[in-house]
Amino acid sequence: MTDTTVEPTSARVRTSAPTLHDVAAAAGVSLATASRVLNGSARKVAESYRERVEAAAAELGYSANLSAQATAKGTSAIIALLVADIADPYFGQLASGVARGADEAGLVVTIAITERDAARETRLVRALRGQRPRGLILAASRSTETSAPELQQELDALTAAGGRVVALGPGAGEVRTVLIDNHGGARELGAALAARGYRNAVILGAQEGVRTSDDRIAGFTEGFAAGEGTVDRIHRGAFTRDAGERIMREALAEGIEPGTVVFAISDVVAIGALSAVREAGREIGADIALAGFDDIPTGRDVTPALTTVRVPLEDVGYETLRAAVDDAWQQEPGSIRLEVLLRASTPGR
């Protein structure tokens, strides 16, 4: 005899994704209430209802349709973060701060890598516009090239669609900007090293036109000169460890007198330079002094520990996220405080 018993619907294996209607029915609430809880509505929902809806959604395995939300609201629950190089600890710490703020705001962070290429950055912004992000954070250092009209057109289009663009540092057009006093921090470092007795310096920088590099070079030169120091020359490369090693080799080939301080525009560049100095049989500290900028963790762990300027990178990332999501945001004066950290790589002379 054939068993014709019909299995209850609730016991059947689900073959399709649960819907908002399913969640509302399981929680015993209206569709509108379920929507307010799960789709980020600003309208208040009683805590008992919220708990029931969230429990039902978890049990059913429901997840919100971000595309539908973006269509309804004009933007999605996404923050797009554009960095130059995800392997650089500088950007890793920034991303950590952005992620912390995004979690507080109920948003998801998506990261794209520009490689400091203007055309690539423009293509990425164009592609990200399709996700209708609530905010777009440009974290890589700006340059004359990355201020191209094509990029600005894409940023303007994203803003017109309801997203908000935030740039770390100046140079990205009419967008919200979170500023780091690179010039002032480097000026204090230059003055501190001159006060330690250094009178000659070599700088390892990026190509001219990269604003962060230019600001740090100008600030260091100003502070060092105020203490009667002289910058002998500047070698230029990029914000990478390998570039630091390469241009330090160039500097050594041209000759560096004992007692000279080398200022690298970032700790990552300085760590590459350190390898070149050791490869040449020279010594960091008593022979050639070395300083960086940013205070990434690796700079504290190398021997000798690296003199640098501390930038509170996680706080900076958090600040950029708030700038992206808070309508009334304004950067408070002194909100990002830099600090010169004198360590064993620049002993007193």
Structural domains in the chain plus CATH codes: 17-64 (1.10.260.40), 75-178 (3.40.50.2300), 182-311+333-341 (3.40.50.2300)
Q: Is the pTM of this model over 0.95?
A: no
**DSSP line for 261-302:** EEEESSHHHHHHHHHHHHHTT--BTTTBEEE-SB--HHHHHS
% of the chain beyond a pLDDT of 70:
88
Q: Is 335 helix (H, G, I), strand (E, B) or coil?
A: coil
Which residues does 204 contact at the CB level (< 8 Å), separation at least 6? 234, 235, 237, 244, 247, 248, 251, 262, 263, 264, 265, 269, 270, 273
Q: Is 260 helix (H, G, I), strand (E, B) or coil?
A: coil
Q: How many CB atoms lie within 10 A of CB 300?
A: 13
Q: What's the confidence (pLDDT) of residue 13?
A: 47
* Mean local confidence (pLDDT), 193-201: 98
Distance separating alpha carbons of residues 187 and 263, to the nearest angstrom: 12
Q: What's the confidence (pLDDT) of residue 263?
A: 98
Please check the confidence at residue 1 and state whether its pLDDT lies above 60. no
Give the residue with greater pLDDT, 335 vs 124. Answer: 124
- Alpha carbon separation from 16 to 54, 57, 164 (Å, rounded): 20, 15, 35
Are 88 and 268 in contact, with CB atoms under 8 Å apart? yes
Q: What's the confidence (pLDDT) of residue 11?
A: 41
The dihedral formed by the CA atoms of 194, 215, 306 and 340, expressed in degrees to the nearest 10: 60
Helix (H) or strand (E) holding 176: strand 176-178
- Alpha carbon separation from 126 to 79, 95, 121, 160, 213 (Å, rounded): 15, 21, 9, 13, 27
Distance separating alpha carbons of residues 318 and 233, to the nearest angstrom: 37
Which residues does 195 contact at the CB level (< 8 Å), separation at least 6? 227
Please check the confidence at residue 40 and state whether its pLDDT lies above 80. no
Q: What's the confidence (pLDDT) of residue 268?
A: 97
Q: What's the confidence (pLDDT) of residue 65?
A: 57
Per the prediction, the chain carries an average pLDDT of 88
Given pLDDT bands bounded at 50, 70 and 90, which one contains residue 117? confident
Pairing of strands 308-310, 339-341: antiparallel
Q: What's the confidence (pLDDT) of residue 6?
A: 44
Q: Is 132 helix (H, G, I), strand (E, B) or coil?
A: coil
Least confident of 60-64, 243-247, 315-319: 60-64
Given pLDDT bands bounded at 50, 70 and 90, which one contains residue 173? low
Q: Is omega for the bond preceding 297 within 30 degrees of 0, making it cis?
A: no
42: exposed, middle or buried (Cβ count in 10 Å: 0-12, 13-18, 19+): exposed
* Mean local confidence (pLDDT), 51-62: 85
**DSSP line for 34-51:** HHHHHTT-SS---HHHHH
Q: What's the confidence (pLDDT) of residue 147?
A: 56
Please check the confidence at residue 172 and state whether its pLDDT lies above 70. no
120: exposed, middle or buried (Cβ count in 10 Å: 0-12, 13-18, 19+): middle
